[in-house]
Amino acid sequence: MLQSTDAVLNDLFECYAEQGFLPDGLPLARISNPYYEIWEDIASQLPNLIQTNQIRQKIDNMPVCTTENLQTEPEWRRACVIMGYFAHAYIWGGETPKDRLPPSISKPFLEISAHLELPACATYAGLTLWNFIPSHPEADITDPDNLHVQTSFTGTKDEEWFMVISVAVEAKGIKLISLMRDAFKAVAADDVDLLTALLYRFADGLCDLTLTLKRMYEHNNPAVFFHQLRPFLAGSKNMGHAGLPRGVYYDVGDSDRVERPENWLRLNGGSNAQSSLIQALDIFLGIKHSATDGEQTGGPSFIQQMRDYMPGPHRRFLDELSARANVRPFILESPVQQPKDAYNAAVNELKAFRDTHIQMVTRYIVMASRQPNPTEQGKGRMNLATASSQTKEAGTKTKLAGTGGTDLIPFLKKTRDTVQDAKC
C-alpha cells in the first residue's frame, strides 16, 4: 500500500523538524573510557600546547589508540572532534606547516571518519555541531550567551563566540525545517493560502537568523579571528601558497614504511558552507548555485562539493530534499500573485543573510588581512593568515582564499547574486 504524501514527508523530516542538524542529545563532554584519557588530556591543554610550541611533540609521543573501545555515536562524534582539532593543530601549529600526520592521529582519524562518513579533517560538524555545551541543562540554545565550546585552538572568547553563533543559528533554523515540511504538504494539497502564510513565516525566520549572525561582532575581534583562529581552520586543498603544495600525508604506520600515494590527501578546511541548514534553505527555495572553486571549472559547484564534508545522514537528507523540492515550480505556475510575493519576501531575507555574511567576511578577513598580528603568537609563521598578508609590495593585489582555497569574495558575491536572481 502506498504511503500518503503526509506520511512520506513526515518520514523524510522525521528528526530534522525536531532537532535540525544538531545531535540528538547534547554533545558528549568527555569520553569516559580511561583508554582515551590521553586524548582528552591533550585536548584540554590544546591552547597552551599550541602557544608554547609543544603540540607536535606531545602528539608525536601519543600512543596509537584503536577505535575498538568507542561504543556509542556520541563517543564517535567526540573522538571526531578531538582528532579534527589535533590534526589541524599539528599541521598549522609550528613555524611552518607539517605535511605529514603521524600514525597517532592518522590511523584512528581515518577509522573515525569512515564510521561517521566524513573526511579526516576539521569539519563544520566537528567544530560546531558536536562541540558545544549549554551553560545549564535547560538553557535556551538559540541564544549564544548560553553556549560554550568544549575544545578550542586558542582558548579565546573570540573563538568560542565564532563557534557558538553558528550553533545558535542552527538551533533557530529548526523551526524553518518544520516550515519546509509543512510547505511541501501545502503544495501537495494545492493549498495556496496556506503556502503563502508559511512562506511569510519562513521569511520571518530567515530574518531571525540574520539578527543572530549579526551578533558575531559582540565578542569576536577581527584581528584575533584572522591571525589566531583562522589559520587553524584551513585545509590542505589549494594551500600551496600557505605551505602545503602536495596536501597532507596520512601516515598510518605501515611496518614496511612504504609511502602510499593514496594517503596523500588534499582536503578542504572547516567552512560554514558545510552547514546542512544553509544548503537546505537554498534547496527549499529552489536556488541552484553553479560557482566552482576555480580548480574544477565546469565540474561540481563548491557548494555541492561541501556536501562531502557533512555527516552521511545529513547529506542524504539534502539529496532527498533536492529530489522533492517543489515550492518554486508550484509558485511559478500559480495564476495568483500572493504566493509569489511571499516567495519573494523569503528570497529577499535569504539575500539579506548572504549580504550580512559578505559584510562579515569583509571585516573579519579582507580588512583584518591589512592589519598586523596583535599578538606575538603566530608572528613569523607560514600559514593562511601570513600567506594572505604577504602582499604589501607596490602594485601587488592580494587574492584572499577561503579555508578551502576558494577565491573568497567573488565566490560569495556570485552565491549572493544567484539568490537575488531567484525572485519571481
**Which of 124, 101, 39 has its CA nearest to residue 252?**
101
**Where is 147: in which H helix or E strand?**
strand 147-149
Backbone angles phi, psi at 149, to 5 degrees: -95, 155
Gyration radius from the chain CA atoms: 22
Cα 265 from Cα 101, distance rounded (Å): 11
What residues contact 382, with CB distance under 8 A and at least 6 apart? 95, 96, 97, 242, 243
What are the counts of helices (DSSP H) followed by strands (DSSP E) for the chain? 20, 5
b (16+ CB within 10 A) / e for 41-57: ebbeebbebbbeeebbe
**Which of 53, 1, 333, 292 has its CA nearest to residue 192?**
333
Cα 256 from Cα 292, distance rounded (Å): 40
Q: How far is CA 244 from CA 105, 206, 272, 399, in A?
A: 18, 38, 22, 17
Is 59:97 a contact under the CB 8 Å cutoff?
Answer: no
CA 164 to mean position of chain CA atoms: 12
What residues contact 402, with CB distance under 8 A and at least 6 apart? 269, 271, 408, 411
Q: Which three cell numbers stand for residue 406?
A: 576558494
CA 191 to mean position of chain CA atoms: 36
Q: Which three cell numbers stand for residue 87?
A: 590534526
Number of Cβ atoms within 10 Å of the Cβ of 307: 18
Is 241 known as a binding-site position? no
Question: Which SS3 state, helix, strand or coil, does residue 239 take?
Answer: strand
Cα 193 from Cα 241, distance rounded (Å): 54
Helix ranges (H only) for 189-337 are 192-213, 222-224, 230-233, 276-285, 302-305, 312-324, 327-333
Q: Binding site for heme b: what residues are annotated?
A: 357
Q: Binding site: what residues are annotated?
A: 357
